[in-house]
Amino acid sequence: MALGSFLAAAFRMLAISFFSLFLSVILIQLSSGGIGPLDVLSGLQSGFTNLEIGLLGSSHFVGFFVGCWWGPRLIGVIGHSRAFAVFAAAGTIGILAHMLWVDPYVWSAMRILSGMCIAGCFTVLEAWLQAKTDNATRGRTVGYYRLVDLLGGLFSQLLIAVLEPATYMAYNILAIICCASLLPLALTRISQPPTTAELRLRPRLGLQISPMASAGVVIAGITVASFRMVGPVYGQAVGLTSTQIGLFLALFILGGALAQFPAGLFADRFDRRKVMFAFSAVSIGASLLVIQLAETSTAGLLAGAVIFGAATFPIYSIAAAHANDHVPANRMVELNASLLFYFAIGAIISPLLVSLLIAGFGASSMFVFIAVAHALLCIYGLVRMTKRRVTIRKPFRYMPRTSFVFTRLFKRKSDRDPTRDDNRNKDR
């Protein structure tokens, strides 16, 4: 009875206020998330080299960063609705143009558009949610948003099971879904929020506040981009079918989603640097475990994807929480923009490197590379933990890597800028 009442209340809240925005989130996730594995399998079928496949993944994150940076500026110039339309149109064009010219470098340009689309659209949607929530509804809104974001990402990977690679039909379906994301937003009754001050990107801020957190998000970018953008190459190399590849990628996200709650408990109870070290150490073991399970059975490999996702996915949120412990409230958005910048660096570089490693040393080299990256993070973490003592921690929050403005959703209207001296954090 209690569960039914909760679900009914949740549905009423969504239906009345944010259902249209959340539906747009799902549609954007399905289209832009589905293009990654479809491009890999289509490229392999069309004769692309591993390096060219890696270039597609790197190009996506180049576009992702451009969308994050340009989104707040475009909102300030033309407003939320028109900015969303611009980014959704760019994503649709990028998807539709694939089968007009089958060339890896042309496709890389198209993937820049798809990366811009997902980052720009999420920037608009998160800015809209932030402007339309108050202290009474903020927690529930963020919770529903997390759920919608994770479900959209999970199901986008499963689309590869029903999309035939290198066909007009497959790309047309994704383009239709991307274009359809405009409809809920266009039909919503929620008034467009006022534009806010332009966000300034300060790349050095993350290093100044917390070198450990900056290193953590770089490794998170390396891990996520390697797995999601080159994972289909790995899957095909070890004998997975298209359906199994989609499940392999989706289970990675599922494992990460399941691990967020226990990760938050540990991060709130213990030194977050030690928690990050522990998850990174487990990531090394999970990487080696996946290599072993790939040689035994498909079921074992799929189970390994869940474990690997659970070990690696929370690291970004833990790193971001650690950095946010040491920054005033008025600089949190700029700090998280800086961290997302470092995440993008790792995500841009890693698909190219991993694709070269697979071409030269075989499929298992992808997980060896990830294990080495996490080993380096563990070593660096041990060094950093000798530099300073533990400080008071703010509550842990799951941080999706979607836009610079997500942090604003957590900021309550009663927040005041602290008077702490930023200089005391320079050794962190």
pLDDT digits (tens, 9 = 90+) for 301-353: 999 999 999 999 989 888 888 887 877 766 777 787 788 889 989 999 999 99
In the chain, what percentage of residues exceed pLDDT 90?
49
pLDDT at residue 419, rounded to an integer: 38
**What are the pLDDT digits (tens) for 186-204?**
777 767 766 655 666 777 8
d(CA 51, CA 180): 33
Contact between 338 and 205 (Cβ < 8 Å): yes
Which phi and psi (to 5°) does residue 8 adopt? -65, -40
Confidence class for position 425, pLDDT limits 50, 70, 90: very low
Are the C-beta atoms of 63 and 111 separated by less than 8 Å?
yes
CA angle 236, 90, 96 (to 5 degrees): 50
d(CA 158, CA 47): 24
179/207: higher pLDDT: 179
Fill in the amino acid letter for 171. Answer: Y
Q: Is the pLDDT of residue 392 over 70?
A: no
Per-residue tokens: 264: 């938050």
HSE (CB half, 13 Å, CA atoms) of 387?
14
Q: Is 339 helix (H, G, I), strand (E, B) or coil?
A: helix
Confidence of residue 164 (pLDDT cuts 50, 70, 90): very high
CB 82 within 8 A of CB 172: no
